[in-house]
Structure 1
Amino acid sequence: MHDGELVSDEDLQSVRMEPLAPHDGPVVLSRYDPTWPRLYQREAARLRALLGDQVVSLDHAGSTSVPGLAAKPIIDIVLTVPNSADEAAYVPTLTAAGYRLVIRESDWFEHRLMKGPDTDINLHVFSSGEAEVARMLRFRDRLRTQPSERDLYARTKRSLARRRWRHVQHYAQAKSGIVQEILDRADQ
């Protein structure tokens, strides 16, 4: 569901725990906000306190983790746990603290997506050792260390964001080509 042609409403809804509402508009990007790393740190501390030994790793990912990069003002956090499919080990604790499970993608790295109780976050939950986690962090690190790659990605995002998107996931999918190009250069 993350590459190729744009996914249908039915496919998007099939992994959601809540009703899917169309976006039907452009994507609004915000200028880089230096408070984003602090918001991540606050969430990371809360998650560590709640989950204890269930936390294998926590990382700030996505555009809000790259200084100087415009982004949707949503903090992307990658949480790895021993087994993301074992929801009983972490979801009830997070739900009791106000987090909501909104996406369950059993066919895509057993990915779970949760929203936070008071900060707009995307908490991406994966099993420890999943290749997608390393990919996400490699992309983040490339943008952090290569200003030309960050600027290319920013231009692409701005151009795509101006279009009308039925769902924000379609905008995310449209960026997959440039993401792969940047990762290919990182791997050279």
Structure 2
Amino acid sequence: MLTAADIVRFDDAPPPPGASAFVAGAPEAESIAIVPADPGWAEDFEHLARLIREALGERALGIEHVGSTSVPGLPAKPIVDIDLTVADSADEAAWLPPLEAAGFVLTIREPWWYEHRCLRFGAPRCNLHVFSPDCPEAARHKIFRDWLRANAEDRALYRDAKVAAAEAANAEGEHVMQYNARKQQVIRDIYTRAFAAAGLV
């Protein structure tokens, strides 16, 4: 059973020594483009959600549009983030083959971090995050999304942080991981307010 303490406690532990999250090796750094909000992202999510449901049927316990493309009016990288809940994300044989047959490609495997898996889809571009039930990270994603949808001030704050982080990361030739690190403090500050409003702290 997921508790408030689980949700508000972030797991920032690094990977075990010698471990890599990337299934086929770290991808090359690419320019990070933050583009104006596109109402079509909601339609892209619905299209992708249908593909996932058709592939998995009842094995898809939950499909949520998360990340910046799920927040109307928020500029974002043009990649739809989706959280998929399955019975056991570590049991890849139970859910991965049908998704691969539908065109999704496993790119990240993190057994040490909530047994997270991430698959990519080419068009529309998508990062499909796979978690087990009652995962704190998936719960946080929904809290963050809903808070930004409802709070213009923090939405603007996050927009500015994203743009600044992308400009700095591109100037240094950094990977998306470094881009994420550059905006982490702003994200944590927003979470603090969202957690308080939800009565979690």
TM-score (norm: length of structure 1)? 0.90
Distance 1:52 1:17 in 2: 26
SS at match of 1:14: coil
Point out 4+ residue stretches in structure 1 off by more than 3 angstroms.
none
- Report what 2:178 is aligned to: 170
Query: Which of 110, 114, 124 is residue 109 of structure 1 equivalent to?
Result: 114
Distance 1:165 1:173 in 2: 14
- Report what 1:59 is aligned to: 64
The size of the alignment, in residue pairs, is 182
- Report what 2:164 is aligned to: 159
Structure 1 contact 3–173 (Cα < 8 Å) conserved: no
Deviation at 1:103, TM superposition (A): 0.3
Query: Which of 26, 30, 38 is residue 20 of structure 1 equivalent to?
Result: 26
- Report what 2:80 is aligned to: 75
SS at match of 1:90: helix
Q: CA RMSD in A?
A: 2.0
2:132 alignment partner AA: S
SS at match of 2:42: helix
Structure 1 contact 56–82 (Cα < 8 Å) conserved: yes
- Report what 2:95 is aligned to: 90
Matched, 1:99 2:104: yes
- CA offsets, 1:156-180, max 9 Å, x none? 1111110134211111122221111
List runs of 5+ in structure 1 lacking aligned partners: none
Distance 2:181 2:173 in 1: 11
Structure 2 contact 51–102 (Cα < 8 Å) conserved: no
Distance 1:101 1:21 in 2: 13
2:87 alignment partner AA: P
2:151 alignment partner AA: Q
Distance 1:165 1:66 in 2: 28
1:38-49 matches, within 5 Å, as 38-49=43-54
Structure 1 contact 115–123 (Cα < 8 Å) conserved: yes
TM-score (norm: length of structure 2)? 0.85
